[in-house]
Structure 1
Amino acid sequence: MKTLTVIITGASTGIGRAIAALFLKQGHNVVINAANENNLISAFNELGSHHQLAMVAGDISNISTGKRLVETAIARFGTVDVLINNAGIFESKPFLEVDEAHLDKFLNINLKGTFFTTQATITQMLKQDGGAIINIGTVLVDHAIGGFPATAPISSKGGIHALTKQLAAEFGKNNIRVNGIAPGIIRSPLQAKNGISNADAFAGLHLLNRIGETQDVAQLALYLAESNFVTGEIINLDGGHVAGHHIG
Structure 2
Amino acid sequence: METRKVAVITGASQGIGAGLVDGYRKLGYAVVANSRSIAPSEDFDLVTVAGDISDPEVAERVIATAVERFGRVDTLVNNAGIFIAKPFADYTQEDYDNALRVNLGGFFHISQKAMANMVERGSGHVVNITTTLVENANSNVPSALASLTKGGLASVVKSLAIEYAARGVRVNAVSPGIIKTPLHAEETHDAYGALHPVGRMGTIDDVVHGVLYLEQARFVTGEFLHVDGGQSAGN
| TM-score above 0.5, yes or no | yes
1:100: Cα distance to partner? Answer: 2.9
Measured in 2, the distance between the counterparts of 1:168 and 1:189 equals 32
With the length of structure 1 as denominator, give the TM-score of the two structures.
0.89
Aligned counterparts of 2:187 and 2:232: Cα–Cα separation in 1: 24
Q: Deviations over 1:197-244 (max 9, x none)?
A: 422321122221111110111111112122211100111101101212
> What is the match of residue 35 of structure 2?
34
CA distance in 2, matches of 1:145, 1:211: 15
SS at match of 2:213: helix
Cα RMSD (Å): 1.5
TM-score (norm 2): 0.94
- Secondary structure of 1:126's partner? helix
Q: Corresponding residue for 1:202?
A: 192
Alignment of 1:56-71 (within 5 A): 56-71=49-64
Work out whether residues 210 and 225 of structure 2, in 8 Å CA contact, stay in contact via their aligned partners in 1.
no
Decide whether the 8 Å contact of 2:84 with 2:95 is kept in 1.
no
Q: Match for residue 232 of structure 1?
A: 222
Q: The residue matched to 1:91 in structure 2 has which SS?
A: coil
Q: Supply the distance in 1 between the matched residues of 2:191 and 2:68 (Cα, whole angstroms).
A: 45
Task: Find the counterpart in structure 2 of residue 169 from structure 1.
Answer: 162
Unaligned runs of 5+ in 2: none
1:141 aligns with 2:140: no
Worse-matched range after superposition: 153-162 or 201-210: 201-210
Tell me which stretches of 4 or more aligned residues in structure 1 moved more than 6 Å: none
Question: Is the partner of 2:114 in helix, strand or coil?
Answer: helix
Matching of residue 9 in structure 1 with residue 10 in structure 2: yes
> How much identity, in percent, do the aligned residues show?
39
Q: Does 1:242 align with 2:232?
A: yes
Secondary structure of the 2:226 match is strand
Residue equivalent to 1:108? 101
Residues of 1 paired with 2:123 and 2:86: CA distance?
A: 40
Q: Does 1:99 align with 2:92?
A: yes
Q: How many residues align?
A: 233
For 2:48, which of 33, 50, 55 is the aligned residue? 55
Q: Which runs of 5+ in 1 are unaligned?
A: none
Q: Which secondary structure does the structure 2 equivalent of 1:111 belong to?
A: helix
**For 2:120 and 2:59, how far apart are their aligned partners in 1?**
17
